[in-house]
Amino acid sequence: MPAIRTWLKRPLACFTANALDARGGLVIHGNRIEELLAPGQRPAQPCDQVFDAREHVLLPGLINTHHHFYQTLTRAWAPVINQPLFPWLQQLYPVWARLTPQQLHLACQVALAELLRSGCTTAADHHYLFPTGLEEAIDVQVDAVRGLGLRAMLSRGSMSLGEADGGLPPQHTVQSAEAILRDSERLVGRYHERGAGAQVQIALAPCSPFSVTREIMQASAEMAERLDLRLHTHLAETLDEEAFCLQRFGLRTVDYLASVGWLGPRTWLAHGIHFNPDEIARLGAAGTGICHCPSSNMRLASGICPTQDLEAAGAPVGLGVDGSASNDASNLILETRQALYLQRLRYGAAAITPERALGWATRGSARLLGRDDIGQLAPGLQADLALFKLDDLRYSGSHDPIGALLLCGADRADRVMVGGQWRLVDGEIPGLDLAGLIADHRQAASALMRAG
């Protein structure tokens, strides 16, 4: 069947990387963007379909680079609402260790649906819980991703340093290095797609300095090099973590990262808050990416990521909502607003514009995932788009359409396209029984707590 050509005609506004005026619209051919049209310009080729976009603001599909989908089952849980990272984790680990495959599947569907409705087209997840019975957690995630039609970078997380050996997680939540590496290689062989348009990719993601051994960090770096994969972990999130690294390894976090072979362009780090100027320079020189997670960092009172210094040094910066036990939403357009405001507190209003924050959520995030086929509206790139309408009460009286999305608090896209396919239409996900999903997910969340 020949590829369909569609003209998204004359949008209200278009967010293009170089501020190119594309108010004539976009031409989509098959799964790619074929043309960007100036105001008044018409498509070069006849189109099979015309979509009137006059009420829509067009963005590249937003890209989320850090999450823990399973945590949607433990949102706003009273015992940890007012806790910082370490006690928050220590209370939650035993709950999470009871997770079943069915519960995980529901949690993934909820997180992905929520992301999709917020304009997200590619989602990275960091899953590091593989208790008995949940050894095939990533397979469960792949199934949920395929069901909803987003792209995903599923990070095969791991924990190998339990309490008995001086780590933070309970012993029954950790796996042996051998089991972790064997499963990682299996997943890469089975699911990892390469090249433009990939839907599912696998990354290697030991959880954090306080939950894994040096050996698994080194072995993951070697496997990533051998199989050409991305590396992901939490780093420099809190001062507790820094103290742990100094005490256990005699190293600050970035020295530790370098010592295990991770200071390079394959790596992207969640949080990246507590760096000194020398460390920022080294991260930039290495091209190591940082995923900024503003809501989580505010909720756990972890600190503020030095985004502008990192970018000035050469480190790519992207955005992540982080897990739903510390956000507790999975809404990427609202997270972009949080990034705008939190970073203004650090760097001032003039430096941090809505366009800069949207740049983190799109092409910045794409760089963290090592992708040059998504994250921008440009000819030849994948047709991954988020369309927002400004017809809600909250936008009434607004003037600049791109600014209005963040300043007026957009929280829901009207339409989302992934690889030329509409995955959100009039704010709804075709084929998904949302009410049924919410009912099942709420029940699973209660069951998880009751099982303790």
Question: Which positions touch Zn ion (CB under 5 A)?
Answer: 270, 322
d(CA 148, CA 117): 11
What is the Cβ-side half-sphere exposure of residue 157, based on CA atoms within 13 angstroms? 28
Q: Which is nearer to Zn ion, 7 or 128 (CB)?
A: 128
d(CA 15, CA 5): 21
d(CA 127, CA 205): 8
Q: Which is nearer to Zn ion, 231 or 404 (CB)?
A: 231
For 53, counting Cβ atoms within 10 Å of its Cβ (0-12 exposed, 13-18 middle, 19+ buried), the class is: buried
Q: Which is nearer to Zn ion, 233 or 376 (CB)?
A: 233
Q: Which is nearer to Zn ion, 270 or 342 (CB)?
A: 270
Q: Which is nearer to Zn ion, 202 or 381 (CB)?
A: 202
What is the Cβ-side half-sphere exposure of residue 406, based on CA atoms within 13 angstroms? 22
Q: How far is the CB of 180 from Zn ion (least distance, A)?
A: 18
Q: Which is nearer to Zn ion, 14 or 99 (CB)?
A: 99
Q: How far is the CB of 115 from Zn ion (least distance, A)?
A: 15
Q: How far is the CB of 322 from Zn ion (least distance, A)?
A: 5
Q: How far is the CB of 61 from Zn ion (least distance, A)?
A: 22
Q: Which of these, 394, 369, 331, lies nearest to 111 by C-alpha position?
A: 331
Q: Return left, alpha or beta for 72; rule: phi > 0 is left, psi -120 to 50 is alpha, else beta.
A: alpha
Q: How far is the CB of 414 from Zn ion (least distance, A)?
A: 30
Q: What is 385-447 written as a DSSP string?
A: EEEEE--SGGGTT---HHHHHHHTT----SEEEETTEEEEBTTB-TT--HHHHHHHHHHHHHH
Q: How far is the CB of 66 from Zn ion (least distance, A)?
A: 6
Q: Which is nearer to Zn ion, 279 or 322 (CB)?
A: 322
Q: Which two tokens stand for residue 317?
A: 């910066």
Q: How far is the CB of 126 from Zn ion (least distance, A)?
A: 6
Helices (H), 228-353: 239-249, 253-259, 277-286, 294-299, 307-313, 332-347
d(CA 448, CA 107): 12
